[in-house]
A and B are shown apart, each in its own frame.
Chain A
């Protein structure tokens, strides 16, 4: 039973605050209004392919609901509103025509997404026409401008929250690249002007407007008709807009369900390079094991959440004690007591700074010099001007000379030696892959490293000479390695199957889905690839080289005859036991109650001979013998 699922009450000795899960609630959150075009054009089929009879509208709905499902797990504190425009019905605070804000019970228009919202939104298509309806909102001869109204409504929804702490976005889903195309003359220019002006007003309030065009390859979405002006694209940006927008749309649907963490400084620390040269750096947690969200205990009858209360009870008297101020450890037959102050004083061996000790070549950082995830270090000039300059100079030197810095990081809880490994920036077409900076790798101390290789050898010291592979065997292994090369392998290309399944189950339960989701385990080896003849042959060659021709046969036969050392020994023991057990007349001894006069090894002989467990105290052995004899 896990009494303390959130680790709230962990002993202070292991509360390495940096590794405690970061607070879920972040000061900066996001508010998004999804503006979905509901004009009849959106209900056209995408492409002419009969099999893929999917409407633009459906594409928009499914990508948004997918995105919401991801968001509710990843960033559940963000707020969303869903708003259709070019509708028959209207529902909005401003009472504007052609704009319909979709919502469910127990929820404001702009609020955190709920399971109910997602559920109802994802099956909205069935009822959309009857409940909301679709019509063109901008028609010649009318002053109605549904796009203008939609922006107005969206802007009004986003009024709450200071732009300082909240990032606000309006996402427009449409397949109409020229909304005012059927209007001419002064009315058109006027409408364009007011709409663009409305967009600028919104942007001035710190709201970002994005367009997600739904288009088909042979009829591209021409952003320069109108939307370039609306979102303020200029020059080259217009040409680059479409490809990136398509990418964003794909991102929305294929997003990995994961908790998103805001970039946040773990700690600002002083890094002492040498006497009287102290620069300042920020540390970030770039890699930390992702955990399924925290557990809340509920009362299974009422489903209300529970709170845990802890009490301390004196083991001797049973009296209730307050948080005991002292700790003790038995030593030399007495209890040595420590106050909490003394304990923290012991741990405080340096001033909490990062202190440079020297440099070493990178190859001295062994693969086993690791204990926990690394921490990223990036310079800051915020309080000490010149920090960045020194940091970059050292960074470049370390990269060039292929060295890492050894430093002592004296945190209050767990001071450690650390290796600072410089990492150059790596950029790919999709952006920054590796940020420039240093990675702080926590090194083990001498007592943290186990010399297992030697210890194991000690246990089986049967033959001192140990075979090593011959050149031919190594060559065969090299061939195998080339055949089984993972193309384009990148760290973290796999999703955690356990975590994805956890989220999948949670979603299924929350949304009341009948079927449990089938999450693909990406971490299993590629069976088809492994079955390719080149790989099979290379594997077979290697096998013969190291195991010999008849390995499988030998394995089978050795298993059959079961003549391993251990089993032979066991057999011998049993035989000996049977032999010596025969020295006594057990039934007679049992009847006369004389079993207790025998020694434990003698009793064990009987038990071993009859294949009965031999553990326990003498009484247990005797009672087991009696049971076996049927008395």
Chain B
């Protein structure tokens, strides 16, 4: 079939600013081609890199220009090679020009397909669009975009674009970025294109639909508002669960010499009477029985067909109601979308009028649907508006199936207000909870929404495809751990601003959980903090395991930037663990020193001493790990000098008992403090420098 033959050209930005995110781009692209390899074996894929050192493309040879655009792979049917290629995308050194890459991509598609294959070609651009594009030879950049997009439209080329914006935009580059965004958005005016902005690696992995499924209508026909007024609509599935691939059962019976063995297993069912286990009842002698009380009533399918419900095909409106009347949790199944018949302007306007009126008045419609003639059941559902924000996409509806009376189980639950007072939160606790809910905001106004379902990949499938590829190379490989980027969606974000952390701590301090002594089952272990399955690093001591976890964590995960008041030690450790820039270590040490200083300065009768000692111990440990003993020793001397005459002298007397001493040569080679000196501090201070 012709329609299955799609062609895709990946345009990947590999310029220096993309390096940090390229691992995720690799994941996204390999997943994409892997699924093509499994489900759409005849799709074709080409790969173009830009921002590379080298230049290799036909346009450069033909007309010149188009530097730093490298055609990594021509448009060819997907194969194992392309998976490997995308596993290791070469990094480039030059700022890439995405416009050049787009032109190269279009050129490849046109040369390959000419006027054929319209609507089945797609360009997919992944970039952060941080570098300015070159000025065209003639006209403005906008003119150039117009020219390119009319060309794309003429050849039926679709355009998908993923723009990555990880950090807040720096003011210097802002004008460039704004211009680029403006140019990219201009594409969507004339062509079928989709531009998504993502701001974290997880969203990037989920940014593209990796499996292409051509939509199939569930129903085409009239939406009957009444007997005289009908609107032509097409109904499609809007959501549908992508299942874990169905694996076949493997049989090892075939001799290994047999190259054509399928290794498949057939499953055979036989029905036997319970009284006589040897007697097999042939299929035509079987009859279906339904239970009625203790009896089973046999009903043949012919009998059944003659009496069962046979509703007529059709979608009928029952009426409208307030949207608040239908609670969200009554939605039963996957969702449908009602689209006005394409090209039918009257239907488009009619749907648009109703959708917009519904939105204005907060109404929804109740429909009764029979999708096909001969189907034995009806569904009742709610039609809600989907007002399009794009000029070239018509308004449509979403349709959710509602339960019937039989589907609802009326279980009674106690009112919260009837619970004993001890089970109810008091005003302070409620305030802490309010704060907690407010702080753990996944959709802050200044950022993109986090963990949006549209951009969140299925972690199990991701893991399966990765494992599949791994196994095809090493058959005895063990299951890889869950991808670190995807871990974000199964565990709370460890990288929280300190204000959020304080909200959690505050929440924590207001509530107390304890195990019910009457119920001592092994299952209650769940209550205790349990290391997650993927983390084998947890040691006996909770705090050391934290350090280890922080140390092994990917640089992209930990992004503590200063020492906060709520969890200074954790912040410090997180900063020390950052590997993206060595300056963080000095920053962490300085931050911790300032923090300890503050603690001591504000102490009243030694109330902050325990915390200060803890911090000092952490600082000491960090300085040993990072081989910065002088930083610590100097700080300790400095503290002592500052306060030896004040009442803080007490503080220094506690230190040796807590094993907080100067760092010695044996602990860190850079130190010039002997064991003896360390032992005597602070009694006989002898500054070494």
Contacts and interface: CB of A to CB of B under 8 A. Distances in A.
B438 A401 contact: yes
Contact of A491 (B330, B353, B523): B330
B642 interface: no
A505 B396 CA distance: 40
A485 B320 contact: yes
Interface in B187-241: 190, 192, 194, 206-211, 213-215, 225-229, 234, 236-241
A629 interface: no
Contacts of B238: 368, 449-450, 452
B286 A392 contact: no
B318 A454 contact: no
A398 B436 CA distance: 10
Nearest to A485: B320
Interface stretch (A34-42, A133-141, A347-355): A347-355
Nearest to A13: B244
Nearest to A524: B368
* Residue from B234, B395, B411 having most chain A Cβ neighbours under 10 A: B411
Given A384-B515, A458-B158, A495 B405 contact: yes
B604 interface: no
A299 B273 contact: yes
B181 to A, nearest CB: 20
Interface stretch (A48-56, A57-65, A332-340): A332-340
A306 B272 contact: yes
A479 B460 CA distance: 49
Nearest to A415: B460
Given A312-B266, A539-B228, A507 B292 contact: yes
B475 A415 contact: no
Contact of B408 (A286, A445, A485, A516): A286
Given A336-B472, A523-B380, 20 more contacts: A113-B293, A296-B288, A308-B269, A326-B252, A347-B460, A356-B440, A392-B424, A425-B416, A450-B238, A457-B342, A462-B343, A468-B394, A473-B353, A485-B320, A490-B325, A496-B405, A539-B226, A540-B228, A542-B353, A551-B346
B327 A496 contact: no
Contacts of A441: 328-329, 331
A307 B269 CA distance: 10
A546 to B, nearest CB: 4
* Residue from A298, A313, A321 having most chain B Cβ neighbours under 10 A: A298
A627 to B, nearest CB: 27
Interface in B300-330: 300, 304, 307-309, 311, 316-321, 325-330
Contacts of A501: 307-309
B228 A277 contact: no
A277 B391 CA distance: 48
Contact of B247 (A279, A327, A455, A465): A327
Interface in B389-427: 391-396, 398, 400, 402-409, 411-413, 415-416, 419, 422-425
Contacts of B248: 327-329
Contacts of A431: 412
B441 A384 contact: no
A263 B355 CA distance: 40
A556 interface: no
A565 B475 CA distance: 55
Given A371-B333, A401-B434, A408 B490 contact: yes
* Residue from B294, B393, B491 having most chain A Cβ neighbours under 10 A: B294
Contact of A256 (B192, B329, B406, B512): B406
B412 A384 contact: no
B547 to A, nearest CB: 15
Main secondary structure of the interface of A (DSSP, over half): mixed
A305 B296 contact: yes
B270 A357 contact: no
A1 B271 CA distance: 13
B265 interface: yes
Contacts of B234: 456
B272 A307 contact: yes
Contacts of A452: 215, 236-238, 337, 339
B380 to A, nearest CB: 6
B262 interface: yes
A274 interface: yes
Nearest to B546: A275
A32 to B, nearest CB: 14
6 contacts: A1-B283, A284-B411, A312-B266, A314-B253, A372-B332, A458-B119
Contact of B356 (A276, A469, A492): A469
Given A397-B436, A447-B242, A298 B287 contact: yes
Contacts of A329: 38, 245, 247-248, 468
A583 to B, nearest CB: 25
Contacts of B523: 383
Contacts of B446: none
B516 A382 contact: yes
A383 B513 CA distance: 10
Interface in A537-574: 539-540, 542-543, 545-548, 551
A424 B180 CA distance: 47
Interface string B247-271: 1111111100010011111111111
A300 B459 CA distance: 48
A314 B265 contact: yes
B424 to A, nearest CB: 6
Nearest to A500: B406
Contact of A358 (B211, B398, B440): B440
Contact of B343 (A273, A306, A336, A460): A460
B319 A287 contact: no
B433 A393 contact: yes
Interface string A372-388: 11101010011111111
Nearest to A332: B80
Given A383-B521, A444-B453, A456 B527 contact: no
Interface string B519-548: 101011011011011100000000000000
Nearest to A73: B292
A262 to B, nearest CB: 9
Contacts of B119: 458-459, 461
Nearest to A544: B229
Contacts of A369: 239, 453
Contact of B527 (A280, A287, A475, A551): A280
Nearest to B237: A450
A494 B404 contact: yes
Interface string A300-344: 111111111111111111010100101111011011111000110
Interface stretch (B101-109, B136-144, B359-367, B579-587): B359-367
Contacts of B457: 445-447
Interface string B60-101: 000000000000000000011000000000000000000000
Contacts of A509: 297, 299
B463 interface: yes
Given A306-B281, A401-B438, A454-B393, A381 B423 contact: yes
Interface in A421-461: 421, 423, 425, 427, 431-432, 434-437, 439, 441, 443-461
Given A278-B513, A385-B516, A308 B270 contact: yes
Nearest to A358: B442
B458 A445 contact: yes
A397 B273 contact: no
Contacts of B393: 453-454, 457, 466
A469 B456 CA distance: 34
Contact of B396 (A389, A453, A467): A453
A346 B329 contact: no
A3 interface: yes
A519 B452 CA distance: 45
Nearest to A478: B357
Interface in A395-418: 395-398, 400-401, 403, 406, 408, 410, 414-415, 417
Interface stretch (A89-97, A161-169, A243-251, A359-367): A359-367
A292 interface: yes
Given A1-B283, A478-B361, A525 B316 contact: yes
